[in-house]
């Protein structure tokens, strides 16, 4: 007897066949003569009917929500059943009998978040994680199609990539090290060997923000490459975004439908994306906030307002130098402006930050000193400018923010299996 996955039954390939399935009890409704079970596995949920006449009736009666079980029976088409098919079971074997499951419909959102280790079994999280996996697969496909090499930068770092206030420090034997905020500096090392490189890896930021878009541990899709400028950068990013959106629009229709998410907005993403300068963004925002002046760092609410105006992904570029990191290249005739760019989407605001990197050793050192950094802490990074420096660009895109926008999620904590925030680090 064939052991099959539930999706094989739901797609009609096992109709009228005797088979077995294994999984967990998702729902149970018991009558005097008949028990209805919804059984789930990693691929889907199917209805099973158990009659009192079978020898396993007493076993079926014992079943509780989330008990693991093995069932044998015949798969039948039934339009009344969820998914259009059901299994008429003739054998029920309990693998693991569950205690009373603590999660039910009446539980609060806070309780459910505390029970993350169990909530991951929910249909919602199952579907989100599947979409997440497909996004990662599509992103890798695009990088590979553009001849980028995937690399593995370190998570332990000796100096800050961004502002030191967001660093997580840790004791590393007898040294003080940090968890990485970004893999950018290490990707820059590798462009001198491999040229076009990328990584998909976790980043850590000790930001005390409590918004729907902030995590202290999140996953970054980052790329760096030489002999390129800002136009090359934006063209690559919009190509990546478009490819991923279209791939998800094609491969994840069932997941989006069940989650109630708008898949059409992904199919509608097309290049080129709208582009506005930071100066133009300030002018747009001043109509609603007259006190906003050039030089201000755009906050979450500002980004949301801009994103609502466009209703689709777009770029804001040429930010003030003073609000950007030491490595950002500036215009020689306008040193107050950095060659930096953010990609923004509706409801979330910024999901990607990138720009041109300063390739001049002397200017880079000056920028470090101006921001209170010690050049001696970055000697290896300065070395890259001493030996064959080239113009180069790069970006980092937050995977979870992208998923929040794609799936219309209420909170970024649902875009990752095990969220880490200012208040959540369990399990």
Whether residues 92 and 131 share a domain: the answer is no
Whether residues 163 and 22 share a domain: the answer is no
Angle CA(45)–CA(76)–CA(39) in degrees, nearest 5?
A: 20
* pTM of structure: 0.95
Whether residues 51 and 200 share a domain: the answer is no
Which residues are 71's β-sheet partners?
21, 92
Kindly report the backbone phi and psi dihedral angles of residue 230, in degrees, each rounded to the nearest multiple of 5, phi listed first: -65, -35
Q: Are 63 and 28 in contact (CB under 8 A)?
A: yes
Give domain status of residue 208, yes or no: yes
**CA distance from start to end of the chain:** 39
Could you give the C-alpha distances from 225 to 130, 218, 326, 378, 390, in angstroms and in order? 30, 23, 19, 20, 10
Domain extent for 53: 2-96
Give domain status of residue 425, yes or no: no
pLDDT, residue 159, reads 85
Give domain status of residue 427, yes or no: no
Give domain status of residue 159, yes or no: yes
Whether residues 92 and 120 share a domain: the answer is no
Whether residues 317 and 227 share a domain: the answer is yes
The CATH number for 20's domain is: 2.40.50.140
Tens-digit pLDDT profile for the chain (427 aa)?
799 999 999 999 999 999 999 999 999 999 999 999 999 999 999 999 999 999 999 999 999 999 999 999 999 999 999 999 999 999 999 999 999 999 998 899 999 999 999 999 999 999 999 999 999 999 999 999 999 999 999 999 998 887 777 899 999 999 999 999 999 999 999 999 999 999 999 999 998 877 788 999 999 999 999 999 999 999 999 999 999 999 999 999 999 999 999 999 999 999 999 999 999 999 999 988 888 999 999 999 999 999 999 999 999 999 999 999 999 999 999 999 999 999 999 999 999 999 999 999 999 999 999 999 999 999 999 999 999 999 999 999 999 999 999 999 999 999 999 999 998 899 9
Give domain status of residue 108, yes or no: no
Give domain status of residue 383, yes or no: yes
Whether residues 91 and 127 share a domain: the answer is no
Whether residues 152 and 257 share a domain: the answer is yes
For residues 20 and 142, give the distance between their C-alpha atoms in angstroms, rounded to a whole number. Answer: 39
Tokens representing 426? 């369990």
For residues 45 and 65, give the distance between their C-alpha atoms in angstroms, rounded to a whole number. Answer: 14
Whether residues 208 and 351 share a domain: the answer is yes
Give domain status of residue 420, yes or no: no
Whether residues 68 and 30 share a domain: the answer is yes
Helices (H), 252-390: 253-259, 264-267, 278-286, 300-310, 361-370, 379-386
Which residues are 178's β-sheet partners?
157, 169
For residues 277 and 294, give the distance between their C-alpha atoms in angstroms, rounded to a whole number. Answer: 11
The CATH number for 324's domain is: 3.30.930.10
Q: Are 87 and 73 in contact (CB under 8 A)?
A: yes
Give domain status of residue 224, yes or no: yes
Whether residues 90 and 164 share a domain: the answer is no
Structural domains in the chain (count): 2
Tokens representing 372? 């209170």
Neighbours of 170 (CB within 10 A): 11
């Amino acid at each position: 007897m064939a052991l099959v996955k539930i999706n094989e039954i739901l797609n009609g390939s096992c109709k009228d066949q005797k088979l077995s399935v294994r999984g967990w009890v998702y729902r149970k409704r018991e009558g005097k003569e008949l028990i209805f079970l919804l059984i789930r596995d990693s691929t889907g949920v199917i209805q099973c009917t158990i009659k009192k006449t079978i020898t396993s009736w007493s076993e079926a009666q014992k079943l509780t929500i989330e008990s693991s079980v093995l069932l044998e029976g015949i798969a039948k088409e039934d339009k009344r059943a969820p998914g259009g098919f059901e299994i008429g079971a003739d054998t029920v074997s309990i693998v693991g009998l569950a205690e009373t499951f603590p999660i039910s419909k009446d539980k609060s959102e806070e309780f459910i978040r505390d029970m993350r280790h169990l909530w991951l079994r929910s249909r919602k999280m199952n579907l989100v994680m599947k979409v997440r996996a497909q996004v990662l697969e599509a992103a890798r496909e695009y990088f590979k199609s553009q001849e980028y090499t995937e690399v593995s930068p370190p998570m332990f770092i000796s100096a800050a990539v961004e502002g030191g206030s967001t660093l997580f420090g840790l004791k590393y034997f007898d040294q003080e090290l940090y968890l990485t905020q970004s893999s950018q500096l290490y990707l820059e090392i590798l462009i001198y060997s491999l040229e076009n490189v990328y990584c998909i890896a976790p980043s850590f930021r000790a930001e005390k923000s409590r918004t729907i878009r902030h995590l202290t541990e999140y996953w970054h899709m980052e790329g760096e490459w030489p002999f390129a400028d800002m136009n090359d950068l934006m063209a690559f990013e919009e190509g990546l975004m478009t490819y991923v959106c279209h791939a998800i629009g094609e491969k994840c229709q069932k997941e989006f439908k069940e989650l109630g998410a708008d898949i059409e907005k992904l199919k509608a993403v097309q290049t080129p994306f709208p582009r506005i300068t930071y100066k133009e963004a300030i002018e747009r925002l001043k109509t609603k906030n007259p006190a906003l002046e050039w030089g201000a760092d755009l906050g979450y609410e500002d980004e949301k307002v801009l994103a609502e105006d466009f209703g689709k992904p777009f770029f804001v570029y040429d930010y003030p130098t003073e609000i950007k990191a030491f490595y950002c290249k500036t215009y020689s005739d306008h040193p107050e402006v950095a060659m930096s760019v953010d990609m923004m989407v509706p409801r979330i605001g910024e999901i990607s930050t990138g720009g041109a990197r300063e390739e001049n050793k002397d200017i880079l050192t000056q920028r470090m000193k101006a921001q209170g950094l010690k050049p001696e802490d970055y000697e290896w990074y300065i070395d890259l400018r001493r030996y064959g420096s080239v113009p180069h660009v790069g970006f980092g895109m937050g995977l979870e923010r992208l998923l929040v926008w794609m799936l219309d999620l209420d909170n970024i904590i649902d875009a990752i299996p095990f969220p880490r925030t200012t208040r959540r680090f369990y399990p």
